[in-house]
Copies of this chain bind each other. A is one copy, B any other.
Amino acid sequence: MTATDHKPKPQTGPLAGLRIVEFGHFIAAPFCTRLLADLGAEVIKVEGPEGDPVRAWGAQHQGRSVWWSVHGRNKKSVTLNLKDPAARDIALALVAKSDAVVENFRPGLMERFGLAPEAMAKARPGCILARISGYGQTGPDRMMPAFGVIGEAKGGIRHLTGYPKDVTDLPPVRTGVALADSLAGLYAAFGVLAALYERRENLPGTPVRIIDVALTESVFSFLEGIIPEYGFTGAVRQPAGSYIPTAAPTNAYRSREGAWVLIAANSDPLFSRLAVAMERPDLLENPDYADNKARVAHVTALDAEIAAWTERLAAAEIFGRLEAAGIPCSKIYDIADIAADRQYRAREALRQVFDPQFGREMLHPAPMPRFDDTAPGGDIFWPGPPIGAHNEQVYGELLGLNPETLAEMKGKGVI
């Protein structure tokens, strides 16, 4: 892609024809609509005239957030000051032209703006409304303030992401990404499409179909066997650090140069192959390692044996031997490793996208999930736009407001 090739592409993809209005900010709702926009949905992002706070987050260049190039991509940005009573009719006019609405204000705030579901139902019978919040739209704690880290803590994943007390007294670590927000956004996107399937034939009456996504419950939903096992046995799953408590060996080991090497050889055939790759057939004779149960019981000694081997070898040599033996293994990748990896490159999982805001190419992740090429799949149609970049297009062409009205609204701070 050259510097001249930076016109927005026309949107295509499996969701082409779908129109979504986002009343969102920060991460969860904007991530939800980005997923939908990446697959071809037309997303109109409504921002206050001051813009989404994420526009000022993280690394900046000339006052612009680098992340915004990705987080705002494929969407149309319009400004609207929802606190101004004059904004309500505009907002409802946008809803009237749309199939679904995604919002992540604190519960009750949309209602205060005059945008309750009943108002939406009048503007757009059968509209779909996805609401993302920390604790959900109901219940005694629904108004409590919640950030993503709270969702991760109350959702039960933070507790598990740490070391056992006898290893270290350090607190459980943060996953390092906006896990709760992104999960909630993905669930909301899934919910919107489920509601669209439900309404594929006709609109069953006028009520809005509401999807209620809590950060806490989005995280909680990933606890797999932990929930029924607690219910059945009362067992409270505890953090297990870097290994899997029920299968051995699976752990991270240091290579000679100090890289973390993850080795997952926790079935009998894999362990046999590992012992051969380590040139340690004696391990297979040792009753302490005879089966998974024995290996779990003696995991400290076993991990020490493996670490003593990995510490003598360069990571490349370790992987050469393990891959030849068909043993699942990986360097613990940082973003530079990912960008250099041949599989990510072959699948174009990272893409260079020219961003006129920055006057250069920006590194974007590919849309998720991938579709075959029998029809257009997801794509990057344009990078995150400036605040209000689509005011004229959306307010003028879609809603039919004339330039004088727009100028007046701008003068009054409504848009």
**Which interface class (under 10, 10 to 19, 20 to 34, 35 or more) fits A?**
35 or more
Residues of B within 8 A of A407 (CB): none
- A101 within 8 Å of B (CB atoms): no
Residues of chain B with a CB closer than 8 A to A350's CB: 227, 231
Given A15-B194, A333-B154, also A362-B212 (CB < 8 A): no
C-alpha spacing A298/B207, complex, angstroms: 52
Complex contact A229–B190 (CB within 8 A):
no
Judge whether B368 and A221 touch: CB under 8 Å.
yes
Which of A42-50, A56-64, A89-97 lies at the interface with chain B?
A56-64
Nearest Cβ on chain B to A226's Cβ, whole angstroms: 5
User: Does A313 sit within 8 A of B, measured CB to CB?
Assistant: no
A217 contact from B57, B167, B237, B347, Cβ within 8 A: B347
Binds B, one of A133-141, A281-289, A392-400: A133-141
Cβ-defined contact, A209 with B372, below 8 A = yes
Determine if B334 and A156 form an interchain contact, defined as CB atoms under 8 angstroms apart.
Answer: yes
Q: Which residue of B lies closest to A358 (CB)?
A: B232
Q: Is the CB of B170 within 8 A of A168?
A: yes
A122 within 8 A of B: no
- Chain B residue with the shortest CB-CB distance to A341: B154
Contact in complex: B242, A170 (CB < 8 Å): yes
Interface string of A142-165 (1 = CB under 8 A from B): 101111011001111111111100
Interface: A186 (CB within 8 A): yes
Given A212-B370, A227-B335, A173 and B162 contact (CB-CB distance below 8 Å): yes
CB distance from A262 to the nearest CB of B (A): 5
Chain B residues within an 8 Å CB radius of A334? 156, 159, 236-238
B195–A14 CB distance below 8 A? yes
Please determine whether A332 and B159 come into contact, CB atoms closer than 8 angstroms.
yes
Question: 1/0 contact trace for A304-331 toward B, CB 8 Å?
Answer: 0000000000000000000100111111
